[in-house]
A = this chain, B = another copy of it.
Amino acid sequence: MAVRSKSGAVAADGAVAPRPKVRIEEVARAAGVSAATVSRVLNRTALVSDDLRDRVEAAAREMGYVAHGAARALASRRSRAMGAVVPTLTNTIFSDAIEAFQQRLDAEHHTMLLATYDYDEELEYRTVRTMIERGVDGLMLVGSMHPPHLLELLEASGVPFVQTWASPRRSEHPAIGYDNGALARIVVDHLVGLGHREIGMVAGLTRHNDRVQARIAGVRGAMRRHKLRLPPERIVYTRYRIEDARAALREMQQRGPMPTALLANNDVVAMGLVVEAAAQGLCVPGDLSIIGVGDLEMAAHMRPPLTTVRTPKRAIGAMAADYLLARSNGRDFDLPPELSMELVVRGTTAPPPMRHKDPDS
C-alpha cells in the first residue's frame, strides 16, 4: 500500500510541496496592521491596544496561522527547545525523569529534544554536538563522567547544561542528584543493624558509569565505619537485565562463601537476584537478604516485596528543567547540595541465618 499525503502538491521529482503556509505578513495585511504588531500580539511582548489585538487574534485564528519556528529562533536567538541526552529509556528511572522534565518544559512553552546513546561515549559526544547545532537553550546530561572534550564543547558553546544523577558536591559543574555515599550508609546501616557482617554488591558495569563507582566507594566507606570490609570478590558486575542479574548471583556463589546480604544496583537487578534465589530453592530473606535501589512500582508487589531505597526520579527531571529554564533566562538558580532518599523496608531483608560455630575453634 503506497501512502501519499493527501495535502500538498507532488512535484515532478516526487518531493512533497507543503501547502503554501500563511506568513505573518499576510496576517498583518488581513488585520490591517504591520507585521511587527502581529508579532507583538502573538508573543505578548509589548502592549497593543485592545482593538488591534482583537483584530490580529481573529485574523490569525481564521487563517490558521502557525509561526515558523526556525525563523523565530533565528531572529530571537532562542530556540525555546531544551535537549535531554540520556543513556537509555529502557531503564524506567530515566523515562520517569524525562517525562517530568518534558512536562515542566511544556508548562513554559519549551520543547524537548531527546536522544539516547546506549552508554556509548562516542555517541554521547556526537549527540550533544547535534543538540548544540540544533540550538537548544539548555541541555540535560546524565552523570558526571563524559567523553573527553564534551564539557569543553559545552562551555565553548555557552549553552547552559546540568548533570543529573551526579553529586553536586563532587562535580565542579552544575549537578543534580543524591549522594551515593549517603545512599550507601542508609543501606549498610540497615543491613548491619539486622546483624549482617558479610555484605556483597551486585553492581552495574562501571565502564563510563560514575554512579556505579561512587556507589561502590560509598558502600566500602560505610562498611569501614562498622569495621567491615568489602573485598573485590564480593562485588559482581552486571547489566541491567533480569537474565544477567541471575547469572551474577551464580557468579558470586562460585567465588566462594556467600555473603548473607546483597545490595543490587537497582530494583531490576534485585528482582533478578530474588528470582534466581527462588529458582535455586534459597529462601529470601531467610537465607539471603536482598536490597534494591529505585522503588519501581513492581517492587511493592513482588513476593516477598522488595526492600529498596526510593530515589527522587521525577524530582530530578523537574529540577533539571527548572534549572535550565532559569539559566537560559539569565536568572540564577540554587541547586540543592543533594536530594534526599528514603529507605523502604519490606520483605527481602531480615537478620542473617544462624551460623554454627566451628567446633574446632
Q: Which residues of A contact B (CB under 8 A)?
A: 1-8, 10-11, 13-19, 21, 64, 66-71, 73-74, 79, 81, 88-90, 92, 95-96, 98-99, 102-103, 106, 109, 111-116, 127, 129-135, 153, 155-160, 168, 174, 241-243, 246, 271-272, 275, 278, 297-298, 300-301, 303, 327-337
B79 touches A90 (CB 8 A): no
Taking CB atoms, residues of chain B closer than 8 Å to A135 are 68-70
Q: Are B334's CB and A18's CB within 8 A?
A: no
In the complex, which residue of chain B has the Cβ closest to the Cβ of A71?
B74
Residues in B whose Cβ lies below 8 Å from that of A159: 18
B15 near A133 (CB under 8 angstroms)? no
Residues on the B chain within 8 Å of A79, using CB = 69-70
A330 touches B11 (CB 8 A): yes
Q: Kindly report how many copies of this chain are found in the complex they form together.
A: 2
- 13 A-B pairs with CB atoms under 8 Å apart are A4-B332, A5-B155, A16-B160, A67-B133, A69-B70, A81-B113, A102-B115, A109-B130, A111-B113, A111-B130, A111-B131, A111-B134, A242-B298
B92 touches A156 (CB 8 A): no
Q: Which of B66, B130, B241 contacts A297 (CB 8 A)?
A: B241
A241 and B111 alpha carbons, distance in the complex (Å): 28
Chain B residue nearest to A13 in the complex (CB):
B330
- In the complex, what distance in Å separates the CA atom of A19 from the CA atom of B275? 54
Indicate if the CB atoms of A14 and B89 lie closer than 8 Å.
Answer: no
Q: A70-B73, A89-B99, A106-B115 are in contact. List 13 more A-B contacts (CB 8 A).
A: A1-B335, A7-B155, A11-B330, A14-B330, A16-B330, A19-B158, A69-B73, A70-B79, A71-B74, A89-B95, A90-B92, A102-B115, A272-B301
Q: B301, A15: Cβ atoms under 8 Å?
A: no
Q: Once bound together, how far apart are the Cα atoms of A71 and B70, in whole Å?
A: 7
A336 to B243 CA separation, bound complex (whole angstroms):
33
Find out whether the CB atom of B70 lies under 8 angstroms from the CB atom of A70: yes
Q: Are A156 and B102 in contact (CB under 8 A)?
A: no
Residue contact B66 to A16, C-beta cutoff 8 Å: no
Q: Across the two chains, which residue of chain B brings its CB closest to A80?
A: B134
Q: Across the interface, do B81 and A102 meet the contact criterion of CB distance under 8 Å?
A: no
The chain B residue sitting closest to A78, CB to CB, is: B70
Q: Which single residue of chain B is at the shortest CB-CB distance from A20?
A: B158
In the complex, which of the residues B14, B131, B278 contacts A332, with contact meaning CB atoms closer than 8 Å? B14
Shortest A239–chain B CB gap in Å is 12
A303 to B278 Cα, complex, angstroms = 9
- Please name all residues of chain B whose beta carbon is closer than 8 Å to the beta carbon of A90 when the two chains form the complex: 92, 95-96, 99
Complex A-B, nearest 3 residue pairs according to Cβ-Cβ distance, in ascending order: A18-B158, A15-B330, A70-B73
- Contact A337 B174, beta carbon cutoff 8 Å: no
Residues of B close to A329: CB separation below 8 A:
15
Q: Could you say which residues of chain B place their CB within 8 Å of the CB of A132?
A: 66
Question: Of all chain B residues, which has the CB nearest A169?
Answer: B1
Chain B residues contacting A103 (CB-CB under 8 Å) are 116
CA gap between A68 and B71 in the complex, in Å = 12
Report the bound CA distance from A243 to B298 in whole Å.
10
Please name the residue on chain B nearest to A175 by beta carbon.
B3
Q: Tell me the smallest distance from the CB of A246 to a CB of chain B, in Å.
A: 8
Does A158 contact B8, Cβ atoms closer than 8 Å? yes
Contacts of A271 in B (CB 8 A): 298, 301
> A153 to B6, alpha carbons, bound, how many Å?
12
| Nearest B-chain residue to A17, judged by Cβ | B158
